[in-house]
A and B are shown apart, each in its own frame.
Chain A
Amino acid sequence: MKRILPCLVMMMLGLALSPRGYASGDIPGPGDVFPDLTLPVPKEVSARGYLGVSEGDSFQLSQVKAEILIIEVFSMYCPHCQREAEDVNELYELIENDPQLRGKIKLIGIGAGNTPFEVNVFREKYQVPFPLFADADFSLYNSFGKVRTPYFFGIRLKTGRPPRVFYAKVGGLKGAQRFLKEIVQKSQE
């Protein structure tokens, strides 16, 4: 028994501490680690300032200066995303105009299968104020599971820890205010 006890303790510890990962191709859900994506540093000074990243070629998702990161997976070609664009812009404005949330919650978009040209069309068409990233070869998309668009991930960012999902849902916001309330609520659970 003396020999077994340490093994049991190690097993229980292992169980308690084992990260909740996900198999390749599956979609990370609440509690799962989100891949620490490598993204190109935006050319626009305002976008770099918003994300809190310095000039350079690329940055990691975990380097974004925020407690909560909302990721919208969209496509220029997706009619649902087009219809939602105005609501997502409103979500950004709600966050930026709330002194309690500004700087803590940030928002980015990833254009699944979209080239930089196509992402730019979407940005200009809908006057999207938050950073959008192209993913022409679906490499980012494939790394977090093949979701339908639009898809929203809520990610918790903590220094020294991997990004972790607390919210993951397909479809529209069903109202920017309602969505933001849900995000704030879920992030505190």
Chain B
Amino acid sequence: MKKVLFTLWVVWMTGLLWGHWGYAGSAAFENNIYDPGPLKSVDSVPKVAVGDKAPDFTLPAVSGGMVSLRQYLGKKNVVLSFVPAAWTPVCSDQWPGYNIVKDLFDQQDAVLIGITVDNVPTLFAWIREMGGVWFPVVSDFWPHGAVAEKYGVLRSDGMSERALFVIDKQGILQYMDVHDINLRPRLENLVGALEKVNK
């Protein structure tokens, strides 16, 4: 009788376990994003502050040519979006959002410049994977992270912070958000900062 009971218990447990299986697996997208896991929120000390003259730079753009901050002086407000690294989870889900809100930047007479410390070929492949973006993406690869260093957002591991800087038409830094690297900044905060610049 014990054997019968044991067999029934096994069947019962198997049934219960079976009942907890059958989850939807996912293989629709290629697993081509490298997840470094949670990182230290912020790993640098800013070298600029709101009200400062924003440090100028000239960097190679993925689309070709060079992009300088000074070329927008007197013409456009500028948003600098530093993201830590290509092919990582949060970064890959930040610029595609900006990519559908060109009108919000236009309304604020602003241009957006995306910056990472990756080299141009890496950025080229990553941006293509996103389906392209409307704004210039520039490479702060060499001298490695020199622009990130000027702004004080170069981390000790050679990546940059996830940081947003809003620079007005006079070249003055009006807003900065050195964000927790693990989290995406909220779009409304950036839009609010741009609105404030234009008031």
Total number of B residues with any Cβ neighbor in A under 8 Å:
32
Interface check B20, CB cutoff 8 A = yes
Enumerate chain B residues within 8 angstroms of A11, measured Cβ to Cβ.
8-9, 12
The total of Cβ contacts below 8 Å across the A-B interface reads: 100
The answer to whether B93 touches A78, judged by C-beta atoms less than 8 angstroms apart, is: yes
Whether A117 touches B186, Cβ cut-off 8 Å, given contacts A20-B19, A78-B93, A78-B96, is: yes
> Measured between alpha carbons, how far is A172 from B28 in the docked complex, in Å?
8
Give the residue of B27, B29, B187 whose beta carbon is less than 8 angstroms from that of A118: B187
* Binary contact track B138-163/A, C-beta < 8 Å → 1, others 0: 00000000000000000000000000
Complex contact B28–A148 (CB within 8 A): yes
Q: How far is the CB of A153 from chain B (nearest CB, A)?
A: 9
Interface residues on A, range: 35 or more
Residue among B1, B22, B97, B104 making CB contact with A29, cutoff 8 Å: B22
Confirm or deny: B36 has a beta carbon within 8 angstroms of a beta carbon on chain A: no
**Complex formed: what's the CA distance from A22 to B19 in Å?**
9
In the bound complex, how far is the Cα of B172 from the Cα of A20, in angstroms?
59
Whether B24 contacts A169 by the Cβ 8 Å rule is yes
- Contact code string A26-56 (vs B, CB < 8 Å = 1, else 0): 1111111000000000000000000000000
Report 27 cross-chain contacts, Cβ distance below 8 Å, ordered by A residue: A1-B1, A4-B5, A8-B8, A11-B8, A12-B12, A18-B19, A26-B23, A27-B26, A28-B23, A28-B24, A30-B24, A76-B187, A79-B99, A79-B131, A80-B29, A82-B100, A117-B188, A118-B97, A118-B187, A118-B188, A121-B104, A122-B100, A125-B100, A136-B186, A151-B26, A169-B24, A170-B26
